[in-house]
Structure 1
Amino acid sequence: MTDGWTVGVIVAMAVVTLISRCFFFILDRQWMLPAWAERALHYAPVAALAAVVAPEILTADGRLIGTWHDARLFGAALGTAVYFWRRSVLLTLAAGMLAYLPLHIALRW
């Protein structure tokens, strides 16, 4: 059985989400972001990707990796190098996996 507190929190979260998503439709005049905010938003996708990928590469079981015997490090390094060399996402993924899979499967890194 769900208690009243849980239902109240869910309803409050739904209201906050609805208001924040509909904020621009509710306004009666056009609203512009400041120039500094628009510039900052250009970096948001890269920052979000880094926030997701970096902990996956640099940590294991919630701790920083303490050894070079981790296939993720070599896959990420090769993938990064290939990306800056060719600027191709497909080649980046292929190169990273070509480095990662043999080390992970054969050497159990």
Structure 2
Amino acid sequence: MGGSSEQYVGGGSSEQYVVESSKQYVVGSSDQYMVESSEQYVVWSSKQYVVGSSDQYMVGSSEQYVVGSSKQYVVGSSDQYMVGSSEQYVVVSSEQLYG
């Protein structure tokens, strides 16, 4: 899924993130969720999602995601991602993020 402006692929064995300009998210393996431009969610596994008007995403269980209007990502547990408006990435722990 090649986005026109941005595409991020996480190098985790059980988690892969693909982000397109139309805000489509695909995560493989045990937790899969898809986000379309109309902000419709299809959630598998035991994850919980809360979406606000400013594109804020929160995922329960062992991974927490918070996405703001400036595309900020915060992931808890074993892999932490932080993305600012200038598309900067900080990766902690065993996960690797490729821009």
TM-score, with normalisation over the residues of structure 1?
Answer: 0.24
Larger radius of gyration: 1
TM-score, with normalisation over the residues of structure 2?
Answer: 0.26
Report which of the two has the higher share of helix. 1
